[in-house]
Structure 1
Amino acid sequence: MSNKAFQQLAVGAALTLSAVAACADCGALPSWSTLKSALTNAVAAESSGLNFQMWATIVDRDGTVCAVAFSGANRASQWPGSRVISAQKANTANAFSLNGPIPGGGAFANGLALSTANLYSAVQPGGSLYGLQHSNPVNTEVAYGGNPSNNGQANDFMVGKKIGGVNVFGGGLALYSADHKVVGAVGVSGDTSCADHMIAWRLRAGLSLDNLLGVAGVSGDAARPDNIVFDITGGVSAGGFGHPVCLNNTTAPGSLPAANH
């Protein structure tokens, strides 16, 4: 390849990356440093599960990754596989949560918040959302591209790109702004799925993006509408949106901070 051709290719690639980044609506969402600080605090505050270090990802309303961070000393301090899982969870919570008003929405007229924890039973065979977990595949080029040394840093390769993916266990929560609108979502992974949910809950509260006043959910708790639900008996969820109880789960869902602000 000639130098001129190489230069043209490089310029084209740079313009493409700039266009992708310009499409992201991350300006109103927490920065990488804010996410990392809030994640570290949330991990320290939650003692259930295995007490492992965690990954967290924020996406905007279009599913573009805005920030990826980890809580440990380096990228090897938490499960490497949980980086992409955290992004999947963020994508899922954003993809299946809604703003209000929803005309004719009945109980959901002011919106619907669905956490990834709420989807576990619904996607099992015979569940109301069976097959959902196969509907939006992960973009593997985004998930595994770039230099691994940048994983979890401000320049993580996923940032500015759409990750996709659907995850159906605890750890993903939609982010609601002060006017109760979905502005994206956060996903957390690295421990048991129950602990992931609890840490994500504390992380969202620490970011002050849990403004769910009036927004409906499936938990039955108006103050925590998208909270994890432990109602599975004999393999069946009483409400259809239950999640299994995990190893060393010592945090009762109702003891988490109320989400409404």
Structure 2
Amino acid sequence: MKRKVIGSMILAGLGFASNQAMAVAAVPCSDPALVTAVGVLQQKAASVVPVGSTPNGGLGFPMWVTIVDNTGVVCSVVNSAGASDVEGFSGEAWLGSRVISAQKANTANAFSHDAFPLSTANLFSAVQPWGSLYGLQHSNPVDATIAYDGDASTWGSGTTDPLVNNRIGGVNIFGGGLALYVDDNGNAAGGIRKVGAIGVSGDTSCTDHVVAWKIRNQLGLDHVPAGVANKGKDDAMIQDIVGSNGNFRSKSGFGHATCLNNPTDANDGGAIEGNKKH
């Protein structure tokens, strides 16, 4: 009799846990802030970055922009050149950057939380052999069966890109990935909350970071909590690497290298701490 009672209690407990799990389960990409962000990017993808112009530094190439939700599910993938066939993209944009943009979004989401953001740019020095997070870049690999699946003509098409509704995984350790935050003050939940992340790729890593920073600001999802940059203020790229003859170090431990045609201090929108280029 005692065993039956104990067994019934265990089953009841499992049932309770199962019911609770069902109660908190959320539909992927359903957060209202993400729904709005996806809609905006879907309509304005071509204006994310002017092709052939370099107000954000870099090379002026088209950009891939991926948004993931708080669990890492891809919500949207757009390209500033517009959805096209693979031949068209090969002449305009880096094809490899599509998956990298999703990888950056996954990384920023996976290693940021409600109280602490880490941009992919913040990981550049930390994963070097002398860094505090060495080896992180080899964890959580990209799921290649998802990354290269589907009709190439739909790549960059927004919510119909084959990456959407999947968790691609991957860890990227250079600029272009940022967590997305809302401020729920005044609502029942209250406070700052991470809703997902954005990944941008297609140009130099410094330009990718600056473009991601500006898009996040335009979407109103930049209520960033204290991070490692700007005296603990945010998740900006930190350009503080010094040294020579292969003996390079970041003063903060979270620094990122400068890039070809580095974004200027006047044009980076506050995205780079320690920017010396004017």
- Range of TM-score over shorter length: 0.7 to 0.9
Equivalence for 1:88: 103
Which runs of 5 or more residues in structure 1 are unaligned? Answer: 1-21, 100-110
Which residue does 1:176 correspond to in 2? 181
Conserved? CA contact 1:57–1:68, under 8 Å: yes
Contact 1:36-1:71 within 8 A present in 2 as well: no
1:121 maps to which residue?
A: 125
How far did 1:73 drift? Answer: 4.1
From the CA coordinates, give the structure whose radius of gyration is larger. 2
Q: Percent identity?
A: 52
Instruction: Name 2:208's counterpart in structure 1.
Output: 196
- Equivalence map 1:189-228=2 (5 Å): 189-212=201-224, 215-221=225-231, 225-228=234-237
User: Does residue 159 of structure 1 match 2:171?
Assistant: no
Aligned twin of 2:94: 79
Structure 2: runs of 5 or more not aligned = 1-25, 185-191, 272-278
Q: 1:123 to 1:253 in 2, by over 3 A?
A: farther
Give TM-score scaled by structure 1 length. 0.80
The reply on whether 1:43 has 2:58 as its aligned counterpart is no
**SS in structure 1 opposite 2:105?**
helix
Residue 6 of structure 1 corresponds to which residue in structure 2? Answer: none
TM-score by length of 2: 0.75
Question: Aligned-pair RMSD on alpha carbons?
Answer: 2.0
Match of 1:54 in 2: 63
SS of equivalent to 1:177: strand
CA contact (8 A) 2:83 2:154 kept: no
Q: Deviations over 1:168-195 (max 9, x none)?
A: 0000000001232100000000000000
Give the counterpart letter for 2:263 in structure 1: T
Q: How many residues align?
A: 223
Aligned residue number for residue 107 of structure 1:
none
User: Given that residues 46 and 198 in structure 1 are in contact (C-alpha distance below 8 angstroms), is that contact kept between their aligned partners in structure 2?
Assistant: no
The equivalent of 2:261 in structure 1 is: 248
Runs of 4+ in structure 1 deviating by more than 3 angstroms, as ranges, are 30-33, 36-42, 44-47
Give the distance between the partners of 2:221 and 2:149, measured in 1 at CA.
Answer: 30
Residue type of the alignment partner of 1:256: G
Instruction: Give CA deviations for 1:48-69 in whole Å, capped at 9, x if unaligned.
Output: 1101110000000000000100
Question: Counterpart amino acid of 2:220?
Answer: S
Number of the residue aligned with 2:12? none
Contact 1:124 1:130 in 2 (8 A): yes
Verify the 8 A CA contact 1:228 1:253 in the aligned structure 2.
no
Q: CA deviation at 1:257?
A: 4.9
Distance 2:227 2:266 in 1: 14
Cα offsets for 1:50-97 (capped at 9, x unmatched): 011100000000000001000014440311110000000000000011
Check conservation: 1:55, 1:189, Cα contact below 8 A.
yes
Q: Is the 8 A contact 2:207 2:263 kept in 1?
A: no
Q: Is the 8 A contact 1:91 1:165 kept in 2?
A: yes
